[in-house]
Structure 1
Amino acid sequence: MISVRLALAATTLVVLGHQASAEPTKYPLSLDNCGQAIRFDHAPESVVTVGQTGTEMLYALGLAERVKGTSVWFNEVLPDYKEANAKIERLAENHPSFESVVAKRPQLVTSQFEWHVGPQGVTATREQFSDLGIPTYIMPADCVGKDNDTGGDGTRSTAFTIDSVYQAVTELSEIFDVQDKGEALLADMKTREAAASEKAKALGLEGKTAAFWFSSADIQIDPYMAGQKGIPAYVMNKIGLKNIVQSDEEWPVVGWETVAKADPDIIFIARMDRRRFPADDYQVKLDFLRRDPVTSQMKAVKENRIVVVDAHAVHAGIRIPMGIEAIVDGLEKTYAAK
C-alpha cells in the first residue's frame, strides 16, 4: 500500500510540473503530418474521428464536446468516456463515407489509418478534404517508419515505438491548445507502461516465444498474425517475449503449419466487437485452436497458455499501457494456474 501511495504521489508531482510548464499555442500553427503540411488559425471547434484511437485520445484530452462524429470501432469505448461517447453520433462501425463525414462540417478530421484517409483512402483522400478547407490529421504511428503503398496493412521499415503515440498526444494537445492536459496524459501513460513492464519481470518470461493472432478473412484459411516490427511485437518486447513471426508487414498472413513449427510458448488472440470477419469473434478463434489437427498440437494450446487481448490495446493509442497491464495480468493468471 505504501509503495502504491508513493507511486501515485510521484505521478502527481510529475503531472503538476508538466502543467506548470505548459505553454499556450501560438496561432497560426503549422505542422507536418505524414508528409503533408497542415495549418490552424485557431483551435478547431468541431472534429470528426475516423478511427477509435483518435476518438479516445481526444476524449482523454477533455475534448469530447468538440467531437461531432466517430467511426471505425474495434472495442467498446473506455468506461470513463462511455457517457460522453453516447451523446456523439457513430457514423459507421467500420468505413464511413466521405459524405457522412463532411455533413458534420468538421474543422478537423483525424484518421487512425492512411487506409481510410490517404492516397487511396476508402473514405477519401486528404486532397478531397483539403479542397473543402478541412485539414486532416493522420496518426503518426501509421506513417512514421511505415510504407502503406505495399498493400494490406502496410510494411514497417523501422520498429514501432510508443514515441509516435506520444507525438500524437503532443500535437493534438497543441492543435487544440490543451497542452496541460496533454502533458498530464503523457505522464500517466509513461508511468503505467513502466510499472507494467517492471511487473512483467517477475514472471520470468525472458526468452519465451509468442504469436499474436488478430483475425482471419475466413477461419479455414491462413490467419493475420502480428509482424515483427508492429505494436504487438513492441508490447511483447516490453514483457520479455519474442515474436515468432519475422515479417516486416504489419499483419502478414502466416500459415498455421509455419506457426505450429515455431511452436510458440504463448498465443495471444484479439477480442473485438467488430464483425468484419467471422474470426473477429475470439471464441471462434479459441474453438479453432483447440479443434484443428495442426493447431491443437501446439504446446501453448495443450497447456492453455492462450491470452485474450482487446484488439484496440494493440493499436497506436492511449490504451497501449493498459494493454500491457492487461496482458501481464493475464499471463500472471495463466502461469499461476500451472
Structure 2
Amino acid sequence: MAVLGCIALILCVLANFDNYAGRVGALDIGVCYGTLGSDLPAPADVVNIYKQHGIAKMRLFNPNPAVLDVLKGSGIGVTIGIANEDLENLATGQAAVETWFNNNIAHYVNDVTINYIAVGNEADRSGGLKNIFTVMPLLNNVVRDKGIKVTTVLSSSVLASSYPPSSGAFTLEAYSTMAGILAFLASTDSPLMINVYPYFAYKSDPGNVRLDYAQFTATETVVQDGEYSYVNLFDAIVDAFIAAMDKAGGANNIRVVVSESGWPSDGSGSITTPELAATYNKNLLNHILKKGGTPRRPGSNIEGFIFAMFNENQKPAGEEQHFGLFYPTMQPVYDVFS
C-alpha cells in the first residue's frame, strides 16, 4: 500500500506539473512587475504568482537583484530595463556599458531567461533618443552571443500623428534618430517595444473615442482607414506606430512588442472601475493570445505585457496607483486568468 501511495503521489505531482507547463505555453503573455510600493510582497512570492497563473513573461523596469535572484531556474522570460537616468553615462563608451552589464546582468545570464534588455523607457526627446541610439550597439556588442536582444520602449508621445492609423508619423524631433534606431533593430532582428494605452485616449477625448472601441467590445468597424478596418483602438494605435516606422524606413522586417497596456480599476471616477479594468485586460489577454495581428499585419504574433502586477502606493496619487491585477496582499483586484 505504501508503494502504491507513493506512486499515486508521484503521478499527482507530474500531472500538476504538466498542467502548469501547459498553462505557461497557453498564456504566452507577460505582466509588468513594478516595485514602487511600500507594502509589496516578497519577490519569491511574486514569482510564485506568475507560476500559479501560468504567466510566461515578466518585464522589470530595472535590473533588480532581489527579483533576478528568485527568477533563477524559473523558466519565466524576462525583459530588463535600463533607466533613462543611466543613459548619459552609458553613452560615454563601450567601457561604461560593459561595466553596467557586469555589475547588473552577467551574474544572471546562465540561470535567468533574459529575452530583452530595453535601453531607456519612453524617452521622447532628441537627447534621450540619441543616447539610446548610442548605447544600443554598444550593449549589443556585449550580449549578441548570449541570446539577448537589445531594444527600447516608446510611448505615443513620439508620434506627431496617429489618427487615422495610416497617418502615423514620428515627430520631427524624433524622426532622424528613430530612423537610425530602426536600422539597428532591423540589423539585429530585434523588436521595437511600444506602450499602448487606449485608456488614456478614451479619457482625453470621450466625446470622440467610443468606450466599446477602447475596450475591445465593439462588434463592427468603428474606424475605416482606406483598406484597413478597425474594430478596436488597440490595433489602431499599434498600426499608427507601424505606419510611422514605415515612413522612417523600418517597418517591413521589425516586429513590435507591446511592452505595456492596461486599464486602472480606480482613481479617476466612473471610467476607472474593477469591471472596466477586468473587461479591458481580459480582452487584451485574449487578443494577444489569438495571435491575429493587426489590420496592417494580419496573422502576425505581437507579444504583449499587461500593466501591471500590483497596485503600487508610491506612484503618483490617483489612477497611477491602481493599474494592478493584484493587491499587495496578493489577492486579485479582479479575475483575468480563469
TM-score by length of 1: 0.27
TM-score by length of 2: 0.27
